């Protein structure tokens, strides 16, 4: 039996994982990437990303995170690389807020190892943090951080080693469904595939104009701060604060600085990912400085480094995992900002299931079912 010929357009966070899964199952895979796997022009950048097992919005994500947890270990074993580091992580916020209530209930339901601390308990264990009055902190024992650029580059290399044909520095110009399959056009010409998986991040709206109303693009800022004291950041864990004071932070791997990030409302809208403004204005940094003063008072007042990345959301914050609205042989993986990186191995597996038309091993109907967009969730 002839193996299916599948194009993977975009070899970033999701595309590299999907290509790896497809080629391991015997598909003939051709991958297209405008730059090279592991670049930091899109969403996968900033040295590290948070891995957490506590779900803040929808408990239906928990099985996906659990499967991703297994696949992270498999990727590390096969590649011989440390892609994820388990340090434990903190979730902090008002115990009566919707996200904190969901997280605590979900942690108990799935049995993930955790502890709940008040302000005195947090001060004893991690005195670097300051809480708002009445806040609690939830310790996620299996939390930690992931290395995004290394993960993408490593996974793409694994796919290539298994026989995937990866076309670096190759921009896809058009994707079209035809009677004989899916045509993918680049400057080098046109090729036809049985199916295509599009995981192009912020470029998805350009490649698939029909998806423009289904996806929202934002320019995200990350800002790195040194500690005022050399020992301030020693052993500090990654953290996330729940709404309405959403923010997150991860120490650099050498613990010399803390990377801070803010939520959706602080992200700048843009239309064209190729011309988005990468220079940050001084007023854009003010919320980062205010966050540092409020919750991590031992950080210096000005960031030593600022970077921009391109994020994609759906209007409901419910990721798009499934066929294109008008092209049934084109599987679209899009809108993962806020959830994506920790889940990416499982989403890659799910995308491969859909491309190969097999029953997914995970129950992800709330993402893959056509009515999923009616399910409105909160930003993560």
Confidence class for position 368, pLDDT limits 50, 70, 90: confident
- Number of Cβ atoms within 10 Å of the Cβ of 102: 18
- Number of Cβ atoms within 10 Å of the Cβ of 163: 12
Q: Is the pLDDT of residue 285 over 50?
A: yes
Confidence class for position 291, pLDDT limits 50, 70, 90: very high
Q: What is the pLDDT of residues 205-240, one digit of tens each?
A: 999 999 999 999 999 999 999 999 999 999 999 999
Q: Order of strands across the sheet with 49-51? A: 49-51, 144-146, 84-86
Structural domains in the chain?
A: 5-46+149-214+316-374 (3.50.50.60), 88-144+216-313 (3.30.9.10)
Cis peptide bond prior to 199, omega within 30° of 0: no
Dihedral, CA of residue 74, residue 76, residue 77 and residue 78, to nearest 10? 80
Angstrom CA distances, 301 to 46, 245, 270, 289, 292, stand at 20, 19, 28, 6, 8
368/380 Cα distance (integer angstroms): 19
Q: What would the mean pLDDT of 249-259 be, rounded to a whole number?
A: 97
Confidence class for position 377, pLDDT limits 50, 70, 90: very low
Q: Which residue has the tokens 């990416």?
A: 344
Q: Is the pLDDT of residue 171 over 60?
A: yes
Q: Is the pLDDT of residue 135 over 80?
A: yes
133/141 Cα distance (integer angstroms): 24
- 164 neighbors 23 (Cβ within 8 angstroms): yes
- What's this model's pTM, rounded to 2 decimal places? 0.94
pLDDT at res. 362:
84
């Amino acid at each position: 039996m002839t193996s299916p010929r599948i194009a993977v357009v975009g070899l970033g966070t999701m595309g590299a994982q999907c290509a790896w899964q497809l080629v391991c199952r015997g598909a003939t895979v051709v991958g297209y990437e405008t730059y090279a796997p592991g670049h930091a022009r899109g969403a996968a950048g900033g040295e590290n990303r948070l891995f957490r097992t506590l779900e803040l919005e929808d408990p239906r994500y928990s099985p996906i995170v659990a499967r991703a947890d297994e696949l992270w270990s498999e990727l590390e074993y096969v590649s011989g690389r440390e892609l994820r580091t388990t340090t434990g992580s903190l979730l902090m916020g008002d115990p009566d807020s919707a996200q904190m209530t969901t997280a605590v209930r979900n942690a108990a339901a799935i049995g993930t190892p955790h502890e709940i601390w008040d302000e005195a308990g947090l001060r004893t264990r991690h005195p670097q943090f300051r809480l708002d009055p009445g806040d609690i902190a939830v310790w996620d024992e299996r939390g930690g951080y992931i290395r995004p650029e290394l993960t993408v580059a490593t996974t793409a290399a694994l796919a290539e080693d298994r026989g995937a044909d990866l076309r670096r520095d190759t921009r896809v110009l058009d994707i079209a469904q035809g009677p004989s399959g899916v045509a993918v056009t680049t400057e080098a010409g046109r090729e036809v595939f049985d199916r295509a998986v599009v995981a192009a991040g912020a470029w998805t709206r350009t490649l698939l104009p029909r998806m423009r109303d289904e996806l929202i693009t934002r320019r995200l800022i990350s800002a790195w701060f040194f500690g005022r004291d050399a020992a301030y950041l020693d052993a500090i864990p990654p953290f996330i604060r729940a709404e309405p004071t959403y923010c997150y932070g991860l120490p650099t791997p050498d613990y010399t600085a803390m990377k801070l990030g803010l939520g959706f409302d602080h992200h700048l809208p843009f239309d064209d990912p190729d011309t988005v403004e990468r220079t940050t204005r001084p007023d854009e940094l003010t919320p980062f400085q205010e966050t540092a003063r409020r919750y991590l008072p031992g950080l210096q007042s000005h960031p030593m480094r600022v970077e921009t990345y391109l994020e994609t959301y759906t209007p409901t914050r419910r990721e798009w995992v499934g066929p294109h609205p008008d092209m049934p042989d084109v599987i679209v993986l899009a809108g993962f900002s806020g959830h994506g990186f920790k889940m990416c191995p499982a989403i890659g597996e799910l995308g491969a299931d859909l491309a190969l038309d097999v029953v997914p091993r995970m129950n992800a109907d709330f993402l893959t079912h056509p009515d999923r967009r009616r399910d409105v969730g909160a930003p993560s």
